[in-house]
Structure 1
Amino acid sequence: MKEKKKMSLLLKLVIAIVLGIVVGFVTPGMGAFGEVIIRIGATYNSIFGNFLNFVIPLIIIGFVAPGIADLGAGAGKTLAATTGVAYGSTIISGTLAFVVASLLYPHMVHAGMFMENAANAEETVLSGYFTIEMPAIMGVMTALLMAFILGLGMAVIKGNTMKTVMNEFAEIIDKLVSNIVIPLLPFHVYGIFAKLAYAGTIVEIMGSFIKVFAMILVLHWVIIVFQYTVAGSAAKKNPFALIKNMLPAYTTAIGTQSSAATIPVTTQCTKNNGVSDGMAEFVCPLCATIHLSGSTITLTSCAMAVMVMTNQSIGFGKMFPFILMLGVTMVAAPGVPGGAVMAALGILQSMLGFDETMCGLMIALYIAQDSFGTACNVTGDGAIAVFMDAITGKKKAAAK
C-alpha cells in the first residue's frame, strides 16, 4: 500500500509538469481567459509558498531533534565509529557532486537562465489575485539551533518526558508533510511550470535538468564503486563481487523508494557478502537512517544547478558548509517521498538563499529521482557494513 502511494505521487508530479507545460503553451492564444487560468495558478503558488515557509521551522525541529536524540541514545564505540564512517561517506559524496558539477555546469547549464526566464515570466504573466501572509513562528537558523540543543539535550539527560513529547511532535509533522504538504505539492509544481511555459522559457530549463539528472545517475554509481573499493580493500574482497550481491537491495529500493522498507533485503544481501549477522543487523538499520550518500549527491547537484540558473556563485566556501549541514539535517528524514529534501529546505533557504519557487523546483526534481537516490543510499549501507565488519574483526584479532 505504501509503495503504491509513493509511485502515485511520482505519477502526479509527472502529470503536473506535463499539464503545466501544456497549459502554459496553450493559454497565450486564449486571451483574457488564458490569463485567468495562469493567475489562478499564481494565486495558489503564492499561498502554498507562504504555507511552506511557515512549516519549514516546524519540519526542522520535528525531524532533526528526535533524530539526534535517538542517535545519541545508543552507546558503544561501534555506534560512534559507524556514525563517523556514514557521515564521512555522505560528505565525500556531496564533495564529489560539487567538484563534478563545478567542472561540467559551465558547459551544461546557461548561467542566469532562471533569472532571465523569471524576469520574462514576470513581464508576461500577471500576479496572483491575492495572497495570505503566514509568518513563520521562528527563523530557519533559530529552528536549527533549537533542534540541535533539544536533540543533544535529550540524548544527554536520557529522560523520557521530553523525548515522548518530541516523538509525538515528530509524528504530527510527519503527518503534516505526508498528508498535506506532499499531496498539495503537484499543484504547486503545475503552477510553476505553467508560468514558465506561458512565458515561453521552459524548453531551455527542462533541457538543462535532463542533463543534470544524467550526471546524477552516473555519480551515484561512481560513489558506489568508490565505497565498495574502500570496503573491499579493508575486507580483502572483490568490490565488484560485493556490488553484484547488493543488486537485489538496489532494485528493491528503486521499487519502494524507502530505505526503511528495504532494510530486510539490504541486511540479507549484506550477510551474503560475508558480513557477520550481528554487524549486518546493526549497521543496515542504523545507516538506513543516517547514511544518505545518494540523496546528498542529488541535493547538491540540483541545488548547484538552480544556483547557476539564478546567477549565484557556487564556490567551495559556500557549498562545503552546506554539504556539512546536509549530513546532519537529513538525519532521521521521515519515510515519506521526498523526506530528505523536506528536511533540507531550511538550509537551502538560510545558507543558499532559496525562495519558495526555487524550493518548489528542488522538491519536484528530488522526488522525480528519489528511487535512484534511495537505491544508492541502501547499496552504500552494505559497503559500510563490510568495512565495519572488517575493521572490528581486525581489532578483535589484534586483541587476542
Structure 2
Amino acid sequence: MNLIFRLVLGIVVGIMLGQWAPDSLIRALLTFKVLFGELLEYSIPLIILFFIMSGIARLERSSGRLLVLTIALAYASTTLAGLMSAIVGVELVPHIVHHGQLPASQIVVLLPYFTLDIPPLTDVSTALVTAFLFGIGISATAHEGMRNLADGGRDIVEWFIAKALIPALPFYIAGLFCEMTVAGTVANTLKSFGMILVLALALHWLWLTLLYVTSGMSTGRAPVQALRHMLPAYFTAAGTMSSAATIPVTVRQCRMNHISPSVASFAIPLLATIHMCGSAITLTICAIGVMLVTPGLPAPDVITLLPFIAALGVTIIAAPGSPGGAAMTSVGVLQTLLGFDAAAVGLMMALYLAQDSFGTACNVAGDGALVQWIDRFAEAEQDRQRYR
C-alpha cells in the first residue's frame, strides 16, 4: 500500500513539475526517465531468463496426475480470464480512451541532458527459449548445480527489482506524467485510466462469479457460501499484495469449504505461484488501454491479443513475489508481441500497480474455486485405487 501511495505521489509531483517547474528541472527529470528506461530494457531478459527457468524447475518437486490437473486448471483459468478481459476490453475501452491521445515518441517537447545506451545481454525471444530449455532440462535431470544457479540468479534479480527498479519507479512515473503535462494530454489520460481500473475490478468479480458457479455446479457445493468463506483470504491478499503471504489464511478458509486438508496443503501453495487470473485480467485490460493511447501501437483486437494471452499464462507463472511482479515478468511479452516501448511499459506499470492489491486478491479467491475441482478429482482417484 506504501508503494501505491508513492506512485500516486509520483503522478501528482510529475503534474505539478510539468505545470510550474523551470525547463532545467524538467529536463533533469526527463534524463532520469530515459536512463531508467534503458536500465529496465537491460533487465528484462534477465528477469525472463532466471524467473521462468527457476519457476519451471521448481514444478518438479511435486509429481503425479494431481500436479498435472492443478497446472492445467491454473493455466486454463488464467488464459480464459485474459480472453474474457480482451473481449470486453476491445468492445468497451475504445469508448473510454481516444486512440493516440498521448504525444508520439518522435515529438520531443524537451530533451534530456544526456542519454546512455545500455544494450541487454540478449533479446527477449532468446531469453525466453533459453529459460524453457534449461528449466525443462533441470526438471528432467534433477541437476542440483543448475537448479542452484537458476534459483541464485532469480534471487539476485529479485533483489535488484525490490531494491532498485520498484523504488525508482515512482520517479520514472513522475517523469512520464511531467512530460504528458507539458504536452497537454495529462487530464484526458488520468480520466481514461481511472475508468479502466474500475472496469478491471468489475471483471475480477465477474470472473470469480463464473468460477464459483461452474465449480459449485460440477462439485455440488454452494457457490455463494464457498465464495463467502473465501472473503477473509481475499481481503488479506488485498492488504498484503502477496499470494504467498496469504497462503495460511487461504488454506484455513478452504478447509471451511470442506476441502481435504492434504489437498489444501498441496494445491494452495502451488496455485499461489501459478494461478494468476486476476493478474491476467488486469494486464490484458491495461494493455488495451495503453495500446489505444500510445501513437505507433496498433489498435487492439481479440485476434492480436490471443498470442499475448497464451504467452502471458506461461510467463507470469514465474512472477516474482514483490508488488508488480506479474507486470515485470510480462514486459518481454508486451514488447515482442504487442510492440510496447519503454514509455508504454512505464504506463503499463503505473496502471497495473495502482490495482495490484485487487488483482492479487482475485488470484487468491480464484484458488478457492479451483481447489474444489482438485479435491473432487483427488476423491475420485482414491475411490479408483480403493476398488482396484
Q: Structure 1 length normalisation: TM-score?
A: 0.94
Partner SS, residue 313 of structure 1? coil
1:342-381 deviation digits (Å, cap 9, x = unpaired): 0111111111110001111111111111000000000001
Task: Find the counterpart in structure 2 of residue 13 from structure 1.
Answer: 7
1:36-58 deviation digits (Å, cap 9, x = unpaired): 12111111111111111111100
> What displacement does 1:74 show?
2.3
> What displacement does 1:395 show?
4.2
Q: Aligned partners of 1:76, 1:394: CA distance in 2, in Å?
A: 15
> What displacement does 1:398 show?
5.2
> What displacement does 1:112 show?
1.6
> What displacement does 1:102 show?
1.0
Q: Aligned partners of 2:313, 2:51: CA distance in 1, in Å?
A: 13
Q: For the Cα contact (< 8 Å) 1:234–1:390, is it kept in 2?
A: no
Q: Aligned partners of 1:298, 1:374: CA distance in 2, in Å?
A: 10
Residue 53 (structure 1) aligned with residue 41 (structure 2): yes
1:271-323 deviation digits (Å, cap 9, x = unpaired): 10010101111111000000000000000000011111225132223211110
Q: 1:255 aligns with which of 239, 248, 251?
A: 239
Task: Find the counterpart in structure 1 of residue 74 from structure 2.
Answer: 86
Task: Find the counterpart in structure 1 of residue 131 from structure 2.
Answer: 147
Q: Aligned partners of 2:92, 2:2: CA distance in 1, in Å?
A: 33
Q: Aligned partners of 1:233, 1:389: CA distance in 2, in Å?
A: 14
Partner SS, residue 137 of structure 1? coil
Partner SS, residue 107 of structure 2? helix
Task: Find the counterpart in structure 2 of residue 133 from structure 1.
Answer: 117
Output the aligned Cα RMSD: 1.3
Q: Aligned partners of 2:302, 2:185: CA distance in 1, in Å?
A: 30
Q: 1:382 aligns with which of 359, 368, 386?
A: 368
Q: For the Cα contact (< 8 Å) 1:63–1:332, is it kept in 2?
A: yes
- What are the within-5 Å matches in structure 2 for residues 66-77 of structure 1? 66-77=54-65
- What are the within-5 Å matches in structure 2 for residues 282-297 of structure 1? 282-297=266-281
Task: Find the counterpart in structure 1 of residue 345 from structure 2.
Answer: 359
Q: For the Cα contact (< 8 Å) 1:234–1:391, is it kept in 2?
A: no
Task: Find the counterpart in structure 2 of residue 175 from structure 1.
Answer: 159
Task: Find the counterpart in structure 2 of residue 264 from structure 1.
Answer: 248
> What displacement does 1:106 show?
2.3
Q: Aligned partners of 1:48, 1:398: CA distance in 2, in Å?
A: 57
Q: For the Cα contact (< 8 Å) 1:228–1:243, is it kept in 2?
A: yes
Q: Aligned partners of 1:315, 1:106: CA distance in 2, in Å?
A: 11
Q: 2:321 aligns with which of 331, 335, 355?
A: 335
Partner SS, residue 115 of structure 2? coil
Q: 1:26 aligns with which of 4, 20, 44?
A: 20
Task: Find the counterpart in structure 1 of residue 107 from structure 2.
Answer: 122
Q: Aligned partners of 2:236, 2:53: CA distance in 1, in Å?
A: 29
Consecutive unaligned residues of structure 2, counting only runs of 5 or more, are none
Q: For the Cα contact (< 8 Å) 1:118–1:196, is it kept in 2?
A: no
Q: Aligned partners of 2:381, 2:272: CA distance in 1, in Å?
A: 25
Task: Find the counterpart in structure 2 of residue 100 from structure 1.
Answer: 88
Equivalent residue letter for 1:107? H
Q: Aligned partners of 1:106, 1:255: CA distance in 2, in Å?
A: 32
Q: Aligned partners of 2:94, 2:168: CA distance in 1, in Å?
A: 34
Q: Which runs of 4+ in 1 moved over 6 A?
A: none
Partner SS, residue 321 of structure 2? coil
Q: For the Cα contact (< 8 Å) 1:227–1:383, is it kept in 2?
A: yes
Residue 319 (structure 1) aligned with residue 301 (structure 2): no
> What displacement does 1:10 show?
1.5
Q: Aligned partners of 1:332, 1:315: CA distance in 2, in Å?
A: 27
Q: For the Cα contact (< 8 Å) 1:25–1:200, is it kept in 2?
A: no
Equivalent residue letter for 1:168? G
- What are the within-5 Å matches in structure 2 for residues 184-203 of structure 1? 184-203=168-187
Task: Find the counterpart in structure 2 of residue 239 from structure 1.
Answer: 223
Task: Find the counterpart in structure 2 of residue 205 from structure 1.
Answer: 189
Count of matched residue pairs: 384
> What displacement does 1:127 show?
1.0
Q: Aligned partners of 2:97, 2:117: CA distance in 1, in Å?
A: 34
Q: Aligned partners of 1:398, 1:158: CA distance in 2, in Å?
A: 31
Q: Aligned partners of 1:218, 1:317: CA distance in 2, in Å?
A: 23
Identity score, percent: 42
Q: Aligned partners of 2:381, 2:122: CA distance in 1, in Å?
A: 47
Partner SS, residue 331 of structure 1? helix
Q: Aligned partners of 1:90, 1:364: CA distance in 2, in Å?
A: 22
Partner SS, residue 138 of structure 1? coil
Q: Aligned partners of 1:112, 1:180: CA distance in 2, in Å?
A: 31
Q: For the Cα contact (< 8 Å) 1:72–1:152, is it kept in 2?
A: no
Task: Find the counterpart in structure 2 of residue 392 from structure 1.
Answer: 378
Q: For the Cα contact (< 8 Å) 2:263–2:378, is it kept in 1?
A: no
Q: Structure 2 length normalisation: TM-score?
A: 0.96
Residue 276 (structure 1) aligned with residue 264 (structure 2): no
> What displacement does 1:207 show?
0.7
Q: Aligned partners of 1:181, 1:18: CA distance in 2, in Å?
A: 20
Consecutive unaligned residues of structure 1, counting only runs of 5 or more, are 1-6, 28-33
Task: Find the counterpart in structure 1 of residue 335 from structure 2.
Answer: 349
Q: 1:369 aligns with which of 338, 346, 355?
A: 355
